[in-house]
Structure 1
Amino acid sequence: MKITGIRSHVLQYDLDEELGYSQQYYLKRTAHLVEVSTDEGMTGWGECFGGGDIAFANKAIVERVIQPMVLGMDPLEREVIWHKVYNLLRDHGQKGMPIQSLSGVDIALWDLAGKIHGVPVYRLLGGAFRERIPVYGYGMMLQRVPDLKERFAAESAAISAAGYKAMKMKIGRGVKEDIALVETVRDAIGPDIGLMVDANHAYTAREAIPLGRELERLGVAWFEEPVAPEDRQGYRDLCLALDMPIAGGEGEFTRWGFRDLIHNRCVDVLQPEVCGLGGITEYLKVRALAEAHFMPIVNHVWGSAVAVATNMHLLAALPDLPGGAHPVQPMLEYDTTPNRFREELLTEPLRVGEQVKESGGSVGLPGGPGLGIEPDPDFIRHFTVR
């Protein structure tokens, strides 16, 4: 079997309301899917992290840079393909968009391998450590509206009522305003629901430390991306200053990028983004580094149903750390904001929200070979932008 083509599909549509985080606001939902074709008619699907106009740059890298490198190669030689592409890209981008683009191609190759062997990806990864995965709801995006606190209160209460036992909210509007927002959400959901906050690197360590102390008072489970990903010392300072876990890693790439982050214990909870860091092939190396340092992993998940399904397989195959009769289970991050690329993309939806409601907070493993999903070609044609 040989690779005969790699095609990018950038999907986009207009949102009804503007959403945002500490760095920007946006009015379009974007997803970047990658389709790898073979001479025997089998196809694999992956996804590249990077929304908005970033997706168009990544599309060019996938189709005009990576595709010529791998045409005619055996799709099962994932390590060979990964290292060939990385070595040829190394002088032009060891992080960022080239690695995001490689990630989507690599995930598609794993999907293809599962289909070739007739087994789910989690079987290729060594098997499932769990039959169900706890899910936390991610919502409460920032908006430029006067009633943001009231909206956060209503949205957090709705996420709790939908069956989620934990949730995450955005912050990053300023220390005083952030504290008021978190207080509002904590009052709305009560003391027993897990609450995490994500600042998307809005602060310096000097600002984040006193903010973190207030978040500890409010029972926040982790403080995500408090400082810029380049500020390793700032991350370490926060880990030492606060009892609350510090989370991060979604903006890091490859085993080499994660090496010092993990070795120096710059975070307490590692959040690798498989659609950005280099794909499943590289995720496994990052996972091994984290396990060697007894660092818990909670994957960062953002994108379409393809990204969600990919992470379900990774979390199913994630070993218990450190192990025991009653281990703490890894959680699936699930975006609860409106997203047609999550709900309507597949011929058979994942039904994550419905499963959470029915089960009281968890989701079952995907069935079928590969990622166990099939994107709807008519849906893709309708939402593709060129």
Structure 2
Amino acid sequence: MKIIKITSHVLSYDLPEPLGYSQQYYHKRTAHLVEVETDEGITGWGECFGAGTIALGNKAIVEKVIQPMVLGMNPMDRDAIWHRIYNLLRDHGQKGMPMQSLSGVDIALWDIAGKVAGLPLHQLIGGKHRDRVQAYGYGMMLRPESVDSLVARFQDEAASIKSMGFKATKMKVGLGPKDDVRLIEAVRKGVGDDYKFMVDANHAYTTSDAFYVGRAMEEFDPYWFEEPVAPEDYDGYRELRQSLKVNISGGEVEFSRWGWRALLEARGLDIAQPEVCALGGISEYLRVLALCHAHFTPVVNHVWGSAVAVATNLHLLAAMPPLPGGLFPWEPMLEFDTTDNKFRDDLLTEPLNIQGQVASNDGFVAIPDGPGLGITPDRDFIRHFDIGNA
């Protein structure tokens, strides 16, 4: 079997209303799918993290840089392929877009391997530790509106996500320390007492501002404080973790085992959040997961993208060993973006129906059991939204 073609599909559509986080507002939903074709007619699908023009840049890396390196290689030799690509790109990008691009290709190779073996991804990895995973509903994103309007909307949206059946929810912050505390208070009011919610700053703060927000949020008892400071600021992470009561989480923009080794050795995380579509794909994710567990750091995968990313993470979460184990072990959760996303809801010929499962299964989602990722993207849908050749 040989790789004969790799295609990037960059999909986009106009959102019904702008969404934002601490760094920017965006008006379009984007997804970057990678299709790897073989001479035996077996095709694998993957996904690259990175939206908008980043996705278009990654398309060029996938098709013009990575594809020539691997044409004619056996797709089953995925570890050899991974190291060939990484070693040839090492001088040009050990983090960021080259790794995002490699991630999509690697995920597609694992999908092919599962189809060749007739096994779902979680069995290729080593088997399921759980038959279902609990999902948390991600919402309360920033919009260009007044603080008072955001406060009211956050409270209502938090209550709505709870009513959908999700057992936890996550909000954005990034307006500034004092206004962000108002948003956090609103979400606690929206969900009531004894309901888990998380706060995501997308590295909005200096360390001193992160301390202000972290201490002020204590009375509202969030479960974790995500990416409070810049991802390069390992000392800031460590100082916050040592001093704040809330769990400190992060890592979605860390890359490869080498980047994760430095982050974990800094002892700045209570909860690790690797992004499989960015850090180097499934091959590298498994090495990063082993590093996290070697440092006794529990993992909740970062998930942002299409149904391809969601399906990939369902397999990975099912196959994640319990840490530390026991009769009632700590369990990971599936991150699920509840905002408008056609690429999550309508991409597949048989949709995952995450929200329907959450509503009917007490907040839990089943693991796909078909070969590879266990999904089939709808090619007509892809053609309709593909802007890659525009």
TM-score by length of 1: 0.99
Matched, 1:25 2:31: no
What is the SS of the residue equivalent to 1:197? strand
Q: Which amino acid aligns with 1:232?
A: Y
Match of 2:114 in 1: 114
CA RMSD of aligned residues (A): 0.6
Secondary structure of 1:91 counterpart: coil
Match of residue 300 from structure 1: 302
5+ residue gaps, structure 2, are: none
| 1:372 aligned onto 2:379 | no
Q: Aligned AA for 1:65?
A: V
1:41 aligns with 2:41: yes
| Aligned position for 1:63 | 63
**Which residue matches 1:234?**
236
Stretches of 4+ aligned residues off by more than 4 angstroms: none
State the match for 2:261 in structure 1. Answer: 259
Q: Does 1:171 align with 2:157?
A: no
> How many angstroms does 1:193 deviate by?
1.4
Residue 272 of structure 1 is matched in structure 2 by 274
Number of the residue aligned with 2:318: 316
5 Å matches for 1:171-210? 171-210=173-212
The alpha carbon displacement at 1:14 in A equals 0.2
Q: Which amino acid aligns with 1:46?
A: G
1:283 is displaced (CA, Å) by 0.3
If the length of structure 2 is used for normalisation, what is the TM-score?
A: 0.98
8 Å contact from structure 2 (residues 32, 51) kept in 1: yes
Distance 2:24 2:383 in 1: 28
SS at match of 1:35: strand
Specify the code of the residue in structure 1 equivalent to 2:214. Answer: G
Residue 367 (structure 1) shift: 2.0
State which drifts further: 154-163 or 209-218.
209-218
Distance 1:185 1:292 in 2: 35
Q: Is the 8 A contact 2:235 2:266 kept in 1?
A: no
Q: Which amino acid aligns with 1:135?
A: A
Q: Is the 8 A contact 2:312 2:373 kept in 1?
A: yes
Please state whether the residue corresponding to 2:52 is helix, strand or coil. coil
Partner deviation per Cα, 1:23-46 (whole Å, 9 max, x = no partner): 000100000000000000000000
Give the conservation status (yes or no) of the 8 Å contact 2:324–2:330.
no
One-letter identity of the residue aligned with 2:216: E
User: Secondary structure of 2:90's match?
Assistant: helix
Partner of 1:221: 223
How many angstroms apart in 2 are the aligned matches of 1:361 and 1:294? Answer: 27
Structure-2 separation of matches of 1:134 and 1:349: 18
Please list the CA deviations of residues 265-302 of structure 1 after superposition, one character each: whole Å capped at 9, or x if unmatched.
11110000000000000001101111111100000000
Question: 2-side partners of 1:211 and 1:150: how far apart?
Answer: 20
Partner of 2:332: 330
Which runs of 5 or more residues in structure 1 are unaligned? none
Moved more, 262-271 or 373-382: 262-271
- Percent identity of equivalent pairs: 64
SS of 2:316's partner is helix
2:91 maps to: 91
Other structure's SS at 1:53 match: helix
Aligned length: 386
Q: Offset at 1:360?
A: 1.3
What displacement does 1:89 show? 0.1
3-state secondary structure, aligned to 1:345: coil
Instruction: Give the Cα–Cα distance (whole angstroms) in 2 for the partners of residues 175 and 16 of structure 1.
Output: 29
Q: Which amino acid aligns with 1:244?
A: V
Instruction: Give the stretch that moved more between structures: 144-153 or 250-259.
Output: 144-153
1:228 partner letter: A
